[in-house]
Amino acid sequence: MGSLSNKIAVVIGGHEGIGGAIAERFAAEGATVYATSRRAAEGETAHGAGVPRPRRVDASDLAELGAFFEAVRHEAGRVDVLAVNAGISEFATLDEVSEDHFDRTFGLNVRALLFATKAATAIMPDGGSVVLVGSIADGIGTKGYGVYGATKAAVRSFARTWANELAPRKIRVNVVAPGPTDTAMMAAASDEVRDTLTKLIPLGHMARASEVASAALFFASEESSFITGTELPVDGGMAQV
């Protein structure tokens, strides 16, 4: 019996990278997992224990997002665990920020996250869990990533408020905050950038997506039953020491 046996889990942005690792880990722990992505193949389906069920959804499109949660309600009847990972990170210093950059980043990282959480908790039984994927960027002021960092600070703030609002229903809300993580997105960065980031991490290497997924599983499961409103950095100590 896995720690999420008989649970219905939704992972927004769960096709690859950190989100994909979370979806796979939840499924391996016994959950029925609906994993959304804009890049999931049209009509792609997967069934059986331990296999995420991909759904092609643009989380920034609230009509698509609403239709997806209605489909989950119809098929599964509820959502026990929600993990929201969908997000973008684009470089732009203050003098380079455009309206499009701001709207696109806040639209996915904050607006979509808010309405996904609203829709999921509307069909979540008492005792459920919400796991928001933030970032240590919410507090370190990385040059060129001011808008991205601000979106993650908003995620952290939402977690505190929602933990308070949902406490009467015993629904817990927590944030997993990764540091640099060895995903396909990071692999596209130059060796110089990767080396520079790695040297800032006391443990000497970037996180693996599976390590972030382990933290998400902790918050999703009963192992964290008395923890809510908190943020867990998964950064090898980068922003901690």
79 phi and psi angles, rounded to 5 deg: -130, 120
- What is the pairing mode between strands 81-84 and 53-56? unpaired
Q: Which of 26, 34, 69, 148 is catalytic?
A: 148
| Other beta carbons within 10 Å of 3 | 17
d(CA 159, CA 177) in angstroms, rounded, equals 12
Tokens standing for residue 232 = 């867990």
| Distant-in-sequence, close-in-space partners of 117: CB < 8 Å, separation ≥ 6 | 82, 84, 130, 132, 158, 162, 173
Whether 148 is catalytic: yes
d(CA 88, CA 183) in angstroms, rounded, equals 13
Active site residues: 148
